[in-house]
Amino acid sequence: MPKPHRIAGLLCSVLLLWACGGGDTAPTTTVAVETPSPTGTSDGTATTSQPPSAGGFGAVAPSEAGFSDYRARFDMSGSAGEETFQMSWIMEQVLDPPAFRIVFEGTSGQVPATEVVGIGDEVWVKVGDQWMYSAQAGFTPPDPESFFDLFTVEPEGWEEVGTEEVAGRPTRHLRVTWNVTDPGVVAPTLLSGGRFQLTGPAEVQADVWVDDQDVVWRWTYQTEASAQVDGEQTDLVYQVSFEIEGVDLGLVIEPPAAAPEGAPGGVPVPEGAVMVMSSESQAIFQVSDMPIDEVVAFYDQALPQAGFEVSNRIEQPGAGAVYTVEKEGTTFTVAVAPSGTGTVTISIAGS
């Protein structure tokens, strides 16, 4: 039987990996579903793990609808027997210039409240009471379009449920249901690690609410299945939803007022150094217009001048240096090293 902290911890790790950068293209918290190959049942009948693909209705995501900004809510929940988890987050996005703010929490009590602010290529992440800063390219907020693969059903496959308003907009409510045999389609996040094994087809229901321009204002996706979890038979339930709460709101997204600025403890940095990561006690800078030996020479002079007592210094000519310094009862490590991009990296950590 899965433990709540395992499920919630996995979700938190995915979100923080996305927020703090995992390369040039950041991972997202959404699920991309590949079209699986047909599989055989015990009686030799071919089955499939998703509904008929091709076409579908002309779904338009909010980022493509011509809005200047929008606010949306995501909800994700699941249960396996008596174990449950739930996570919700609000996303605000400004399309031009690009900026976003996300506030999410694990309401099961296992994931700390977290906030992420992204402006251009700069991102600030708050976990608990502490903000961290990162300047890396390739950040994008969770993308509701990544879920649209789940809804690629022939137009005649959708049932008209009715009409209703979402965020004050008239919409058509459409629904489709089907059976799934691929566990990766049932609940991809929950099923990571191979601890979940379906013991029968899962029942899947997808609902969308679209306006007369095919803009998706709300969607939900839910599955129910019998499964073995860590070797024990149980019922598996997985739900995820997205809903636009407002558009063209005049949103203004700015850097957090409490975000860290500069190096911790006032450790000096060379003029022109660019901060790429910073928290309350750590920071990383990059220098692109100084040879590494000049950066080392800078610290030989600047640290004593700024009131830091150097207790240890290790240098390898042409490869940088590491300083241990102290000021006002706090010890700092300053490391100067070459980076793979031809720049010089300065890492500062206080203790």
- pLDDT of 93: 92
Q: Do 233 and 317 lie in a common domain?
A: no
At residue 156 the predicted structure's pLDDT band, cuts being 50, 70 and 90, is low
| Last residue of one domain, picked from the residues 190, 221, 247 | 247
At residue 279 the predicted structure's pLDDT band, cuts being 50, 70 and 90, is confident
Q: Do 147 and 190 lie in a common domain?
A: yes
Please count the structural domains in the chain. 2
In a domain, residue 113? The reply is: yes
- Predicted TM-score (pTM) of this structure: 0.69
Q: Do 322 and 288 lie in a common domain?
A: yes
Q: Do 94 and 223 lie in a common domain?
A: yes
In a domain, residue 255? The reply is: no
Q: Do 192 and 303 lie in a common domain?
A: no
In a domain, residue 256? The reply is: no
- Model pLDDT for residues 44-72, shown as the tens digit of each residue: 333 333 333 323 456 788 888 899 999 99
Provide the residue range defining the domain that includes 283. 264-350
Report the CATH number at residue 336: 3.30.530
Q: Do 225 and 296 lie in a common domain?
A: no
- Beta-carbon contacts of residue 120 (< 8 Å; ≥ 6 apart): 97, 98, 99
Q: Do 243 and 163 lie in a common domain?
A: yes
- pLDDT of 2: 29
Q: Which residue has the higher pLDDT, 224 or 108?
A: 224
In a domain, residue 68? The reply is: yes
Average pLDDT for residues 237-243, to the nearest whole number?
Answer: 88
Q: Do 243 and 269 lie in a common domain?
A: no
Q: Which residue has the higher pLDDT, 113 or 28?
A: 113
